[in-house]
Amino acid sequence: MKRNLLLAVLLLICSVVAVPAAEQDEFRAMIDKDGVQRVTVVGGDFYFHPSHIVVKVNVPVELTVTKDTLIVPHDINVHAPEAGIDFKVELSREPQVIRFTPTKTGRYPMYCDKKFLFFPSHREEGMEGVIEVVE
Ligand SMILES: [Cu+2]
């Protein structure tokens, strides 16, 4: 009996630990009074924060992007023209605003496409996330 309880506790702990990092770093955008969903994303070596952005469909989005490192170049890409989201922006210390209106629900990958020589791409290093468009 005690053994079963211990097993159940262990299973619970494992299932909590097994949640992917991207799911834990979720940001659900609120709609501001002017009808715009505003999200700030920071890119660094080698991550985006938040890495999981949830926005509502057919509501304009203002994505403010910055970089928190000096040397390594990074960019942010989402190429989902079928959902009204299609951009590639070079990240800098100065905030830049990307505007789009998502037109289709779904999960769209967001990533840095930089790669230096024979090293793994930044995306492979973990510099990726997802924009999730919901009803
Ligand atoms: Cu990068």
How much distance in Å is there from the Cα of 81 to the middle of ligand 1?
A: 22
Reply yes or no on whether the pLDDT at 74 is more than 90: yes
Q: What is the mean pLDDT of residues 67-82?
A: 96
Reply yes or no on whether the pLDDT at 57 is more than 70: yes
How much distance in Å is there from the Cα of 51 to the middle of ligand 1?
A: 13
| Burial of residue 127, with CB atoms counted within 10 A of its CB: 0-12 exposed, 13-18 middle, 19 or more buried | buried
How much distance in Å is there from the Cα of 56 to the middle of ligand 1?
A: 27
pLDDT digit string, tens, across residues 99-133: 999 999 999 999 999 999 999 999 999 999 999 99
Architecture of the domain whose range is 21-134? Sandwich (2.60)
So where are the chain's domains?
Answer: 21-134
How much distance in Å is there from the Cα of 39 to the middle of ligand 1?
A: 19
Which of 38, 89, 41 lies closest to 68, judged by CA?
41
Reply yes or no on whether the pLDDT at 5 is more than 70: no
How much distance in Å is there from the Cα of 73 to the middle of ligand 1?
A: 6
The per-residue pLDDT of the chain, averaged, comes to 90
How much distance in Å is there from the Cα of 85 to the middle of ligand 1?
A: 20
pLDDT at 7: 53
Q: Percentage of the chain with pLDDT > 90? A: 81
Reply yes or no on whether the pLDDT at 51 is more than 90: yes
Confidence of residue 78 (pLDDT cuts 50, 70, 90): very high
pLDDT at 9: 54
How much distance in Å is there from the Cα of 113 to the middle of ligand 1?
A: 6
Cα–Cα distance list, 60 to 44, 55, 102, 115 (Å)? 26, 9, 7, 31
